[in-house]
Amino acid sequence: MRVLVYSDDAGTREQVRQAIGRRPAADVPLVEIVECATQPKVLQLLDSGTVDVAVLDGETQPAGGMGVSKQAKDEVYDCPPILLLVARKDDRWLANWSRADAVVSQPLEPIALADAVAGLMRQRSATRLNAK
């Protein structure tokens, strides 16, 4: 499965990549990570239908992950599940506004992040099976 990681911070993208690894859980497929740092590229990849799960950094500048999530959920047909990285637990209400499917607070806890991504991968697999 392809997992998109969006952040303007290379360190954040690296943390996410390391937390997810090649397989975030034993019962999910291997992961191919696609990184990007710009909003237009995120929307292009999401619209292409080649991404299964997206991890968006809420602190990315100039277009934060929350706004990108909201836009994708409103505009992308069959938008994949989105996990939003937020700076504080208090930002979860904004994640709800953005229609993110899951939220993980920073500082990132690798096990929590991997579990959340695996859950979204399961959700995406189930959605695709039901569509057939």
According to DSSP, residue 27 is labeled T
Domain range annotation of the chain: 2-131
Which residue, among 16, 1, 14, has the nearest Cα to 84 in the 3D structure?
16
Tokens at 1, concatenated: 């499965």
- Between helix 10-20 and helix 110-131 the angle, nearest 10°, is 70
**Cis before 29 (ω within 30):** no
- CATH code assigned to 2-131: 3.40.50.2300
Q: Write out pLDDT tens, residues 90-132.
A: 777 777 789 999 999 989 999 999 999 999 999 998 876 666 5
CA dist 19 and 8 (Å) reads 18
Q: Write out pLDDT tens, residues 35-78.
A: 999 999 999 999 999 999 999 999 999 999 999 999 999 999 99
Average pLDDT, the chain: 92
